[in-house]
Structure formats: structure tokens, C-alpha cells
Amino acid sequence: MALAGKTKKDVLLEFRTTEILEAARTVFAERGFNGATIDAIAVEAGVAKGTVYLYFDSKRELFLASMREGVLALHAEVAAQLRTAGSCEGKLHAFIAARFNYFSRNRAFFRIYYTEFSHLVCGAANAQPEFQDLYEEQAKLLEEVLAEGIAMGQLRPFDAPRTARIFYDLVRAALAQHILHGAGDSPDEPIRTLFEFVWKGIGAK
Amino acid sequence: MALAGKTKKDVLLEFRTTEILEAARTVFAERGFNGATIDAIAVEAGVAKGTVYLYFDSKRELFLASMREGVLALHAEVAAQLRTAGSCEGKLHAFIAARFNYFSRNRAFFRIYYTEFSHLVCGAANAQPEFQDLYEEQAKLLEEVLAEGIAMGQLRPFDAPRTARIFYDLVRAALAQHILHGAGDSPDEPIRTLFEFVWKGIGAK
Amino acid sequence: MALAGKTKKDVLLEFRTTEILEAARTVFAERGFNGATIDAIAVEAGVAKGTVYLYFDSKRELFLASMREGVLALHAEVAAQLRTAGSCEGKLHAFIAARFNYFSRNRAFFRIYYTEFSHLVCGAANAQPEFQDLYEEQAKLLEEVLAEGIAMGQLRPFDAPRTARIFYDLVRAALAQHILHGAGDSPDEPIRTLFEFVWKGIGAK
Amino acid sequence: MALAGKTKKDVLLEFRTTEILEAARTVFAERGFNGATIDAIAVEAGVAKGTVYLYFDSKRELFLASMREGVLALHAEVAAQLRTAGSCEGKLHAFIAARFNYFSRNRAFFRIYYTEFSHLVCGAANAQPEFQDLYEEQAKLLEEVLAEGIAMGQLRPFDAPRTARIFYDLVRAALAQHILHGAGDSPDEPIRTLFEFVWKGIGAK
DNA sequence: CATGAATGAGCATTCATTCAT
DNA sequence: AATGAATGAATGCTCATTCAT
């Protein structure tokens, strides 16, 4: 039983959930949080408006869930890429490349990620501890890589936690340039430029 | 008297304008564009709702004006600091320091700047050419410093335009960490860390 | 059952539509287009404000719909009465009588019809081609009757199109007197007076 | 003194009053009662908004005054023309012609006269006794002409009061056709058609 | 479970009117 | 008298949320 896992009911429930989440991601990406309506999401998902509320408590919950899903997928992909890299340098490069690649494939999602994530993180009233946690988790991942790199002498000795967060946000900012303004360019060149910037700094010698 | 320029009327007009702009900045910072209501701004400014519309044509205009004012002041301050700096290194340090200092004094404004600037720049429908221009202007300023530094051998030879934008965004990202999470800390330490990050990169040697 | 056509849903939808249209007619008649508020119409209809918007896209649409409904019913009734009349004289009498009778039963509607029809037809910006068409349709109907009467020697030879419009407007004018000022009098006497006026003119001999 | 009549003050007062009334007539004609704003009228009159309120108590008062003025001019002209006419037939023709001519010269005014007069007369809540009186006065004028014509055997014996009002409104309706739809046509042909309609009726023989 | 009709709080904006100067 | 800045009530419309079926 327990092994069988999913009953027909569970499958349907999961299916609907996925369906709605996907619709939400699409609509939120297109119109932003305020511009999106539950109606539009319901239509996109092919269900009735009321049904959305059977699966999610509120518009905000739905938004958070759709963000969470995308963020988790991103984080999983980044973590996976990180594991395949050997050196510290390789790991940092992988971190950058993985994010660029993920968002190159999920451009619509980047828009909500970038514009609305800020809201959630910044807005005193809106701050979502959950996303703070997700953020921290990734920042920690990066922090470990940096700390290890410093310990092994591959990186200059600096304040790892603080630098990790700056690094993380820098990648997000560079991504914004690439995704939102660079139309459909290949991410290779920006990745290289960014990595060099980060690795060598800009000072001569 | 007449030569003094400002009549009593002008003074009042300017006072009200400032009053409303300040209120707008506060409220927009607290609640974001959509969360802010004209009513709340009017109350904050200590005027009636209708009065706001005597000074600004619409909520959006008011928002843009409150952004514009802050951005122009920021840019003016940055440019001034840049002029006082001698070396390329000094100029880049000044760029960072000026921005950190400005936003340390205008924390509320940073919220709008950070969270809503993206909206304006990204959102196809909302894109404000004016802000794109302001951004470009600053980026150009930075670009020149970088180009000069490269030419004079003080900086590594890299793609100046692209790097200027990365640099610019990096400072914004670091500022977000400092302003939004670092509560009321002195900006000195973050400025130093950031400058080192930029100057030397993170790679050893 | 299924063959009966109307499902419970359809019935409710039609009921609500009628309910709101009726309320709209009442309120528009009492206060005119600008004086009427959606809120007042909603209250009159016994529904919430938002509900009105489920059935009609805008205040203007609701107004037009309430006009359209009444005008169509009027026109149908007039046309029906015209068909039962034999002679040209009988048809003209029927035209007058049908309109008097219809509006005697729909006094509230006459108010909108009379006061706002002008707006719609006159106001360049507001002009509703649809109503112009409805007007023309009825005028044509009358025109045919007149042309036929002239051809058969039952009417004096005059410019039928122009006279049809004068005739039409005359009836409207006489109706205004009757409906708006004659309180609840029987329409019989006005009908007779009007018909004689039309038929014989006022000149002696 | 009393003969001197107007002091400088009175002249200015009258001048301003006229100026504002003229502006009001223009703006009300262009945009209707609701569409017109006191601001627009003040601008048109070349005075400040507050000044309008020194001369008129409210928007409605101003509207009524601007109507009154036009209506009085119309009535004066009609009465004058009536006096020059000899026969009953001539007087009725003069009544029609005078109104057509007046409004041919004051087309803008006809719009408010026609559309807004209806409001005032019909609207239970808005009914302006004053205009009812003006209306009655003119109707009485017409009634006397008709009564006299009947008494002298120049007109068929009919209900003079009722017919006077129908006649009056018919002319208004025909005017609407001419002024609002007939662009700038000469009023001669419509006057003739209308008069014949009224005089002979439409019945043959 | 699913539906979608109904709700009603919320909000930007307008503009007649007032009143201090 | 004249001004015009300030007011704030009023209103069309939206949309997240509920709930009877």
C-alpha cells in the first residue's frame, strides 16, 4: 500500500496542482503579481476559478508556490552542476553557468523571479521567511565553496559569508542584463565576462 | 524683492511639491507601487487626496517623479564625488562610496529604487525610456572611467561597456545586502569589502 | 427535459438580466444617465454592485441595453398593430395609438426614451449608430405607409420621407405632453386630438 | 443720477456677468451640463474659477441663467415676428419661421436647449418651475393665436390649449431634425413643409 | 470534488465649492 | 472684488474570495 504510493485520487490531485501551478507561473510571468488575475490563471489551467481555491488558499499562496517550484528546480540544477565540478574555480564557474542556462531556458520565469522576488524579500510587510530560507540555503552553498576555496588557498582570504551574498546577487543582476535586455543571445559570452570579472577583479596585475 | 525670484506662491508650491514627493517616496517604499494608495500618500503628506492631483497628474506620474528626484540627486552626488577623485582606483572607490553613502541616508528610497526600478525597466508595457536613459547615463560615466583606466594600464584590458554594467549592478546588489538587511550598520566595511572584491577579484594570486 | 431548452441556469441568468434591466430602466428614468449610479441600480435590482458587471460591461452598455429592449418591444408592438390595420388612415391611427398605448404602460421608460434618445442621437461623441438605425427603421415603416397613401390618393401629395420624420417626431412630442404632464389620463382623447391634427391639419376647410 | 443709470461698478458687473454667461453657453453647448466644468467656463470667460461663484451661486444656477438668457432672446424674437404678421395663418407661419431662423443662427444653443431642456422639464427631481413658466408663456402666446383663429373661423374648431402645446413641441422636434441633422441647409424648405403639414394635415381633400 | 455566480471592499480620479489672501 | 489652491465627497469599475449547488 504504502509502496504503491499514489492512489488514483492522489494522482489527480497532483495533476491538478501541477496544472494550476504551471498556469500560474505563465500568467504571473506575463503580467506580474498584481496584473495577474485568478480568473486568468484558472482559464489557463482549464479549471474553474473556485477550483484554484481548492488547491491554494489565496492568490499570494499560489504565487509563492509557483515561485517555490521554479526556485527549487533552479537550485536543484545548480547543485547538480556544482557537484560535477572539481576545482573551486570550476564550481564557481558552474554556479554562474547553471543559473544562466536555467534562466535562458525559463525566461518568463526570470521576470517574476527578478521583479517579484525583490518585493518579497525587501518589502518589510511582505517579506516571506520561506524565500529568505531558500535564498540562505543557496547562499550557504556558495559560502561553503568560497570558504573551502579560501581554506585551500585557491581564493583570496575574504569575508566568505558577505562575499557569497554579493556574488549571488551579482549573478542575478548580470542575469537581468542578459535575460531582460539581451534578447535571445547565447549566454556564453556573458558567462565568461562575468566569471573573469569575479575571478580576477578589474585591477591590473 | 521681485529680483529675489521666488514669490510667496512659488515657495508654497515648491513646499507642497516636496512634501508630497517625500510622502510618496515613503509610502511607495513601504508598500510598493500597487500597495500604495493616493489616500495614504495624501495623509502622509498632510493634504487632501485631491491636492495630490493638483501637483501630479496621476499615481504613476507621482511615482515617476519621486523616483526621478531621488535618482537625479543620487547621480549628481555620485558625479560630484567622482570629480574630486584623482586616480582611476579612487574614482571607482568614490563611485561605490557615493552610492553607499547616498542610500545610507535615503534608505526608504532604496526600496523603491531597487524593487520598482526593475519593473519599469523590464516590463515591456511599463518601460520608462526616461529611466533607461538615466541608467545609461550613469553607466556611461562608469564606462569612461573604466576605459580610461584600461588605457592607462591601471585596469586589466576587458570589455568596458559590458563590465561597466556588471559593475553598476554589482554595486546595486551589494547595496541591497547592506541597506535591506544590514539594518543601520556603517557603510564603511561593506564599501571596503566590495571594492576589494571588484579590484582584486576573488581568485588568489 | 433537455429538449425544453432552458436549463435552470438559463432561467436564472435571464431572470437576473431582466431584473437588472428593469432596475436600470427605473433608475435611469428617475435620474437620467449621469444622475443614475450603478450602486443605485444594483440596490434597486436587489443585487451587489459587482453583479451588475457580470451581466453588463459598463454603465453605458447597461443603459443602451435598457433602451434597446424597450425600443425593440415598442417597435414590435407598433409593427404588429400596423399589420392589423387595413386602410392608410387606419394604419396611421394604429401607429399613433400603438405608441400611446405602449408608453402608457411603460411611463418610466418614456422618460429615458425622450430625454436620453436626444443625447444619443445628437451628441457627436455619444451618437449610437444602433439607435439611429432603429429610428430610421421605424421612420421607413411610416414612410411606406405614407407613400402608399399618396399613391392611392388617400393622402395629399407631399414629400413622404420628410413628412414621415415630422409625423414621427410629432407623435413623440404629443406623447411627451401626455405621458410627462398628463399624469395617468386615458390616452384615448389625446390620440383622437392628435390624429385629427395630423389628418386634417389645423386650417379651416 | 437715477437717470444716469449705471455707475462704473454696475457696468463692470454687467460686463462680467455677460462674459461669464456667454462662456457658459458656449461650454454647455459643446459638452452638455455634466460634461462642462466650471473650470472650462472660467477659462473661456477669462476669469478665475472663484469669480464665477461671485456671479452665480452654483453650476446649476449658471446653467439656468445661460438657458434663460437664450430662451428670453428667442421668445422676444418670436413675439416680435408674431406682431408683424397680420392673419392667423401668417402668425403661425411667423412662429415657425422665427424659431427656425433664431436657431439657425444659434445652433450651439439649440443643442443645450433641446437636450437639456428635456431633462429639466421631464426629470421629476430636476423640474425647473421657472422654465415651465417660460414654456407656458410661449404656449399661451400660441394658444391665443389659435383661439383667435378658431373664433374667426380661420382654423378648425379644436382644443386650443392642447393643440398649442403639441404645435409647440412639434416645431421643436422638426427643428431638431433640421439643426442637428440637416447641417447647414437653408431653413426655408423645412419651414414650408412643416407649415403645410400643420395647416393642411396629411389627409386628402 | 468542481463549479462559477455573487459579493463587496477597495481605489484612482474628477470637480463643484469654499475661503484665505 | 478677484483669485486659485485646497478640499473631499462621489463614482465607475475590478477582482480576490466565498459558497450554494
Q: Is pLDDT above 50 for A1?
A: no
Q: Do B193 and A166 touch (CB under 8 A)?
A: yes
Q: Which helix (H) or strand (E) holds A86?
A: none
The neighbouring-strand residues paired with B155 are A203
The grid coordinates listed for D6 are: 449705471
Alpha-carbon gap, residue A94 to A25, rounded angstroms: 26
The neighbouring-strand residues paired with C155 are D203
User: What is the percent of chain D where pLDDT is above 90?
Assistant: 40
CA distance D93 to chain C (A): 12
Instruction: Provide residues 15-74 of A with CB closer than 7 Å to any strand E atom.
Output: 16, 47-51, 53-55
What pLDDT score does C1 carry? Answer: 44
What pLDDT score does C124 carry? Answer: 47
Q: Does C183 or D74 have the greater pLDDT score?
A: D74
Instruction: Provide residues 52-71 of B with CB closer than 7 Å to any strand E atom.
Output: 53, 58-60
The answer to whether the C-beta of D38 is closer than 7 A to strand F is no
Q: Is pLDDT above 80 for C162?
A: yes
Summary mean pLDDT of chain A:
85
Q: Is pLDDT above 90 for A130?
A: no
Q: Which residue ranges form the domains of chain A, and what is each CATH number? A: 1-56 (1.10.10.60), 68-202 (1.10.357.10)
Q: Is pLDDT above 70 for C117?
A: no
For the segment C47-59, the average pLDDT, to the nearest whole number, is 96
What pLDDT score does A116 carry? Answer: 64
User: What is the percent of chain C where pLDDT is above 70?
Assistant: 87
Q: Is pLDDT above 50 for B28?
A: yes
Q: Do B163 and A34 touch (CB under 8 A)?
A: no
Q: Is pLDDT above 60 for D4?
A: no
The neighbouring-strand residues paired with D184 are none
CA distance C13 to chain D (A): 32
pLDDT confidence of C37, banded at 50, 70, 90? very high
| Touching partners of D (3+ C-beta pairs < 8 Å) | C
The answer to whether the C-beta of A7 is closer than 7 A to strand F is no
Instruction: Write the burial class of residue A91 (CB in 10 Å: 0-12 exposed, 13-18 middle, 19+ buried).
Output: buried
Q: Which residue is listed with cell 462680467?
A: D16
Nearest Cα residue in chain D from C115: D118
Chain-centre distance of CA B140, in angstroms? Answer: 15
The grid coordinates listed for B105 are: 541616508
DSSP assignment letter at B2: T
For the segment D50-68, the average pLDDT, to the nearest whole number, is 93
pLDDT tens track for D105-120: 888 788 878 776 666 5
In three-state secondary structure terms, A119 is helix
Nearest to D166 among C121, C177, C200 (CB): C177
For the segment C49-53, the average pLDDT, to the nearest whole number, is 97
Nearest to D120 by CA among D55, D72, D67: D67
What pLDDT score does D119 carry? Answer: 60
For the segment C168-172, the average pLDDT, to the nearest whole number, is 86
Q: Do C155 and D202 touch (CB under 8 A)?
A: yes
At D33, the amino acid letter reads F
The answer to whether the C-beta of B48 is closer than 7 A to strand F is yes
pLDDT confidence of A120, banded at 50, 70, 90? low
The grid coordinates listed for D127 are: 423640474
Alpha-carbon gap, residue A65 to A89, rounded angstroms: 34
How many Å apart are C54 CA and F13 C1'?
12
Q: Is pLDDT above 80 for C183?
A: no
What pLDDT score does C3 carry? Answer: 45
Alpha-carbon gap, residue D32 to D25, rounded angstroms: 10
Q: Do chains B and A touch (3 or more CB pairs under 8 A)?
A: yes
pLDDT tens track for B169-203: 889 888 888 887 766 778 888 898 889 888 887 66
DSSP letters for B154-181: SB----HHHHHHHHHHHHHHHHHIIIII
Closest nucleotide to residue B48 (Cα to C1')? Answer: F7
Chain C residues with CB inside 8 Å of D197's CB? 158, 163, 166-167, 201
What pLDDT score does C134 carry? Answer: 80
pLDDT confidence of B1, banded at 50, 70, 90? very low
pLDDT tens track for A7-61: 777 787 888 999 999 999 999 988 888 889 999 999 999 999 999 999 999 999 9
Which residue places its CA closest to the C1' of nucleotide F10? Answer: C37
Alpha-carbon gap, residue C25 to C39, rounded angstroms: 14
In three-state secondary structure terms, B79 is helix
Q: Do C153 and D204 touch (CB under 8 A)?
A: yes
The neighbouring-strand residues paired with D155 are C203
Alpha-carbon gap, residue A114 to B173, rounded angstroms: 12
How many Å apart are B49 CA and E13 C1'?
10
Q: Do C30 and D124 touch (CB under 8 A)?
A: yes
Q: Do C200 and D123 touch (CB under 8 A)?
A: no
In three-state secondary structure terms, B203 is strand
What pLDDT score does D144 carry? Answer: 92
In contact, C107 and C205? CB cutoff 8 Å: no
| CB count in 10 Å sphere of residue B72 | 11
| CB-based burial, B86-110: b 16+ in 10 Å, e otherwise | eebbebbbbbbbbbbbbbbebebbb
What pLDDT score does B2 carry? Answer: 45
Q: Do D173 and C169 touch (CB under 8 A)?
A: yes
Q: Do D166 and C193 touch (CB under 8 A)?
A: yes
Q: Is pLDDT above 90 for D42?
A: yes
Chain A residues with CB inside 8 Å of B194's CB? 166
CA distance C123 to chain D (A): 8
Alpha-carbon gap, residue C145 to A100, rounded angstroms: 79
What pLDDT score does D118 carry? Answer: 66
Chain B residues with CB inside 8 Å of A201's CB? 156, 197-203
Nearest to B34 by CA among B123, B153, B99, B145: B123
Q: Which helix (H) or strand (E) holds B107?
A: helix B107-122
Q: Is pLDDT above 70 for C47?
A: yes
The answer to whether the C-beta of D17 is closer than 7 A to strand F is no
Alpha-carbon gap, residue A36 to A41, rounded angstroms: 7
pLDDT tens track for B139-174: 888 999 999 999 999 998 888 888 888 888 889 888
Lowest-confidence range among A115-129, B96-110, D100-114, D130-144? A115-129
What pLDDT score does B124 carry? Answer: 46
DSSP assignment letter at C47: S
| Touching partners of C (3+ C-beta pairs < 8 Å) | D
Chain A residues with CB inside 8 Å of B158's CB? 193, 196-197, 202
What pLDDT score does C91 carry? Answer: 94
Q: Do C170 and D173 touch (CB under 8 A)?
A: yes
pLDDT confidence of B123, banded at 50, 70, 90? low
Lowest-confidence range among A66-80, A118-132, A149-163, B95-109? A118-132
At A74, the amino acid letter reads L
Alpha-carbon gap, residue C48 to C42, rounded angstroms: 6
Q: Which residue is listed with cell 535571445?
A: A184
In three-state secondary structure terms, A203 is strand
What pLDDT score does C2 carry? Answer: 45
Q: Do D118 and C115 touch (CB under 8 A)?
A: yes
Q: Does C205 or B131 have the greater pLDDT score?
A: B131
pLDDT tens track for D149-190: 999 999 988 888 888 888 888 898 888 888 877 667 788 888
Select from A89, A132, A197, A198 the residue whose CB has the most chain B CBs within 10 Å, as the one to mutate to test that interface: A197
Q: Is pLDDT above 70 for D72?
A: yes
How many Å apart are D34 CA and F12 C1'?
15
Round the CA-based radius of gyration of chain B to a whole number and report it: 19
pLDDT confidence of D102, banded at 50, 70, 90? very high
How many Å apart are A200 CA and F14 C1'?
53
Alpha-carbon gap, residue B103 to B176, rounded angstroms: 10
Evaluated on CA atoms D35, D37, D42, D43, the torsion sign reads negative
What pLDDT score does D126 carry? Answer: 53
DSSP assignment letter at B204: -
User: What is the percent of chain B where pLDDT is above 70?
Assistant: 87
User: What is the percent of chain A where pLDDT is above 70?
Assistant: 87
Nearest to C166 among D33, D174, D180 (CB): D174
CB within 8 Å of A109: residues ≥ 6 apart: A25, A29, A70, A103
CB within 8 Å of D8: residues ≥ 6 apart: none
Nearest to B173 among A89, A153, A170 (CB): A170
